[in-house]
Chains A and B, each alone.
Chain A
């Protein structure tokens, strides 16, 4: 149980285009989803927290107009990198938090998405 699917796993795009990354909880309802970014040999940096049906809360220094986060349902959150630049190239990871039908709490990470902007 507690499976989070993140798609695509790898994406290459041209500078100036927008890229959407999806994060789905497959067997539980995720009331909260987190989006992280990892630079090479660096920590996982929390970008934003999204709660289903409400606006995402962005961490200090993260441009909300650049990184659009939508959490329209209890099983899906999307991160859209708008007008991508080479410096946006990174590894993006989502995690989903919620509860199983049993009532047990769960927090699971997706496998990550490698974005390369040319």
Chain B
């Protein structure tokens, strides 16, 4: 039972344009959503997060949007840079704050930013 899904396994965009990565979830009990970036043979690194009481969070080039009614979130990267090329995972957890609640990961989207 995949509670967090990323339906696009890959995405290719031109440098300078916007990258939009999508994520859907099924469990309405999730309280917190996170995006991670992962390079091959490395662990994920945290990018940005959003709590379920908000609909937008912005950090530099990265913005996450949450649509609770649709159980959908998206990560926008603008402008996209070649160094952004990596696999992006969305993740969800129950419980606000704290770091000890387990994360459920999506299936990942491979982003390729073309120079």
Show the binding face of A for B, using Cβ within 8 Å.
4, 6, 9, 31-32, 34, 36, 41-46, 49, 51, 91, 93, 95, 97-99, 105-112, 114
Q: Are A44 and B46 in contact (CB under 8 A)?
A: no
Interface size in chain B (residues, C-beta < 8 A): 22
Q: Say what secondary structure dominates the interface of chain A.
A: strand
CA distance A34 to B44 in the complex (A): 13
**Closest A-B pairs by Cβ, 7 of them:** A109-B43, A97-B99, A107-B99, A32-B100, A105-B99, A44-B105, A43-B107
B25 within 8 A of partner (CB) = no
CA distance A102 to B41 in the complex (A): 31
Show the binding face of B for A, using Cβ within 8 Å.
2, 4, 9, 36, 41-46, 89, 97-100, 102-108
Known: A111-B43, A114-B41. A43 touches B89 (CB 8 A): yes
Selected contact of A109 from candidates B44, B106, B108, CB within 8 Å? B44
Q: Are A111 and B42 in contact (CB under 8 A)?
A: yes
Known: A105-B97, A105-B98. A43 touches B106 (CB 8 A): yes
